[in-house]
Amino acid sequence: MNADRDTRRLILKSARDLIYSRSYSEVGVAAICERAGIKKGSFYHFFPSKRDLTLAVIDEFFVELKQQIFEQAFATDLPPLQRLLRLVELGYLFQKEIAQTLGQTLGCPFGNLAAEMSTQDEPIRQKVERVFEMMEGRLAETLQAAEAHGDIKDVDIPATAQAMLAYIEGIMLMAKTRNDPQVIRQLGPAMAEIRIRKTV
């Protein structure tokens, strides 16, 4: 049972690394098996298809980023709006570390999949949409705390959370396009100032 769990984790990790650094379409089951050092028959024991594996990769990646970035970013030791700045800084550090290791800036794994796959695979599109909704939820909670704290008012919180996430995704995409994580540090802090006003 433990060996099975280890093999499953190894497949997930191999797929995560390959798809994140290339793309969904460019990474086949054969390449994932080769990276994981397993046989194709073993792969299909764990995942019925590359799509099913990718849905699991998205879940795992969200857990990873929650632990590595979101929990620290949104910790309540700082005032709410400063947590947003910490989120941007942690996103920058995450991308910088990748760039130093791989020589490439990979951007947001969810945004990458959304851009490539939204028109081509409905379950993947829906899964990324749900991840974005969870991220918006964390941003919205932070904005509610900022409102309670008296830092913002008359703000449409759900729309502003969406706009902030859109900006983060846009900056991640720009950093990937320029292959330069510094873009995130330079442009990112403006995220905390985005407001969509309540329409009366």
- Contacts with its own copies by CB under 8 A lie at 21-23, 25-26, 104-107, 111-112, 114-120, 125, 128-129, 132, 159, 162-163, 165-171, 173-174, 176-179, 183, 186-187, 190, 193-196
Least Cβ distance, residue 100 to its own copies (angstroms)? 15
Minimum distance of its own copies from residue 133's CB (angstroms): 10
Least distance in angstroms from the C-beta of 189 to its own copies:
8
Pick 24 or 47: Cβ nearer its own copies: 24
Output 46 or 110, the one with its CB closest to its own copies. Answer: 110
Residue type for position 183: V
Give the whole-angstrom CA distance, residue 4 versus residue 132.
Answer: 31
Between residues 38 and 121, which has the closer beta carbon with respect to its own copies?
A: 121
Q: To the nearest whole angstrom, how small is the minimum distance from the Cβ of residue 149 to its own copies?
A: 22
33 or 128: whose CB is closer to its own copies?
128
Q: Where are the beta strands (DSSP E) in the chain?
A: none
Give the containing element (helix H, strand E) for 123: helix 122-148
Whole-angstrom distance, CA of residue 39 vs CA of residue 185: 42
Q: How far, in Å, are 93, 115, 152, 153, 154 from residue 197 at the CA level?
A: 31, 28, 10, 9, 6
Which sign, positive or negative, has the C-alpha torsion 47, 50, 55, 58? positive
